[in-house]
Amino acid sequence: MEELLEKLETYRREIRETELTNPDAAESYRIRFLGTKGIVKNLFHEMKTVPAEKKKEFGQILNEFKLFAESKYEEAKSINHQPSTINQIDWSLPGDPIPLGTRHPISLVRNRIVEIFGRLGFSVAEGPEIEDDWHNFTGLNMPADHPARDMQDTFYIHQNPDWLLRTHTSSVQARVMEKQKPPIRIICPGRVYRNETVSARAHCFFHQTEGLYIDENVSFADLKQTLYFFVQEMFGKSVKPRFRPSYFPFTEPSAEMDINCLICGGAGCNVCKHTGWVEILGSGMVHPKMLQNFHIDPNKYTGFAFGMGVERICQLKYRINDLRLYSQNDLRFLRQFVAAD
């Protein structure tokens, strides 16, 4: 018994002094102390030599020793399992770079449009992309049989013949006029949809920004001045704008605005169809019928409206010759755009 206790003390010391800093050392330790032919097992065998009246006491001592030997091993296992052993990491190594994305050119140009009109007091209004007939067409002076509906190939929604994907952001004008009394001065950026075959020049979805200004004494001169200011801020003072008479059911009179082609500089290209001019927006004085539709008194108020294609503006600003590039998600294309100034 004395002898056994001494042995135990020696083993305890050995266990305390052993360093199990790697998996191999821990494994040898396990085999030596806890294995099927290991020290702990042998000590239990030696119980036979202990006199009967001491068995209980020695049994307890041996159990404690067993727990002590096991806990050393468990501790070593948990330390050795820490990811790649914390002490082996070189904290002075440079970190993995986190690549920063860039904004999509359409977003950059949209933000720029909003910012320019923001300086003139226009605030942003939004509306749904799934619209009803009234807000997209009828309320805008385009009843069911109106020929102008053919100008826009519309996606209708199966479940309800009254629902469609908005073909223009003019639908937001309708929604704002319905709720708000003049003065109204809003800009409405958003996505629109038309059933067009995708090509370098057309897409089945694209972006527009609508503008609407209604107050007392708003004139065509205000419309021109506002849009001149806009193109100069967007493209620089040397841009050449021109107005052409046009037709839209929701404005009277109506005009389209062109600017000189910034892609070919007037030499002629596929974007300006070799004319040197590119149309960027439609506009006009809000039709009195429209004002009446939305319970705004046309004898008291007048207004102007315009709608521009964001892809077109972006195309001229960054000289992009194919509309499909905007939605192909090619990083070589997308990484080139840093900021629209």
**Pattern of binders to ligand DAH over 181-210, x per CB under 6 A?**
-----------------------------x
By CB under 6 A, name the one of 213, 306, 326, 337 that touches ligand DAH. Answer: 306
Pick 71 or 225: Cβ nearer ligand DAH: 225
Residue 168 is a binding residue for ligand DAH (CB under 6 A): yes
Please pick, from the candidates 141, 170, 209, 315, the single residue that binds ligand DAH as defined by CB under 6 A.
Answer: 170
* Cβ distance to ligand DAH smaller for residue 152 or 260: 152
What residues form DSSP beta bridges with 251?
A: 248, 286
- Please answer whether residues 133 and 162 qualify as being in contact, where contact means their C-beta atoms are separated by less than 8 angstroms: yes
Q: Which CB sits closer to ligand DAH, 30 or 311?
A: 311
Angle at CA of residue 166, ends 165 and 171, nearest 5°: 150
Angle of helix 105-119 versus helix 220-235 axis, rounded to 10:
130
CB nearer to ligand DAH: give 29 or 136. 136
Q: Give the E-state strand segments of the chain in sequence order.
A: 123-124, 130-132, 156-157, 160-165, 184-193, 205-215, 241-248, 251-260, 277-286, 302-309
Positions 1 through 60 that interact with ligand DAH (CB under 6 A): none
Q: d(Cα 67, Cα 73) in Å, to the nearest integer?
A: 10
If one counts every other C-beta atom within 10 angstroms of the C-beta of residue 17, the result is 7
Nearer to ligand DAH, 241 or 284 (CB): 284
Footprint of ligand DAH on 270-289 (CB under 6 A): 282-284
In terms of C-beta distances under 8 Å and separation of at least 24 residues, what long-range contacts does 323-331 make, across chains too?
Answer: 323/199, 323/200, 323/201, 323/202, 323/203, 323/206, 324/198, 324/199, 324/200, 324/203, 326/104, 326/105, 326/106, 326/203, 327/203
Minimum distance from residue 282 beta carbon to ligand DAH (Å): 3
- What's the closest the beta carbon of residue 310 comes to ligand DAH, in angstroms? 12
Annotate 30-87 with DSSP letters as a single string. IIIIISTTSHHHHHHHGGGGS-GGGHHHHHHHHHHHHHHHHHHHHHHHHHHTSTT-GG
The single residue among 58, 117, 193, 248 that binds ligand DAH, judged by CB under 6 A, is 248
CB-nearer residue toward ligand DAH: 105 or 249: 249
By C-beta, is 235 or 250 nearer to ligand DAH?
250
Q: In the bound complex, what is the minimum distance in angstroms from residue 217's beta carbon to ligand DAH?
A: 19
- The count of residues interacting with ligand DAH (CB under 6 A) is 12
- Give yes or no for a contact between 261 and 277, defined as CB atoms under 8 angstroms apart: yes
Interface with ligand DAH includes 307 (CB under 6 A)? yes
Residues in touch with ligand DAH (CB under 6 A): 168, 170, 210, 248, 250-251, 282-284, 305-307
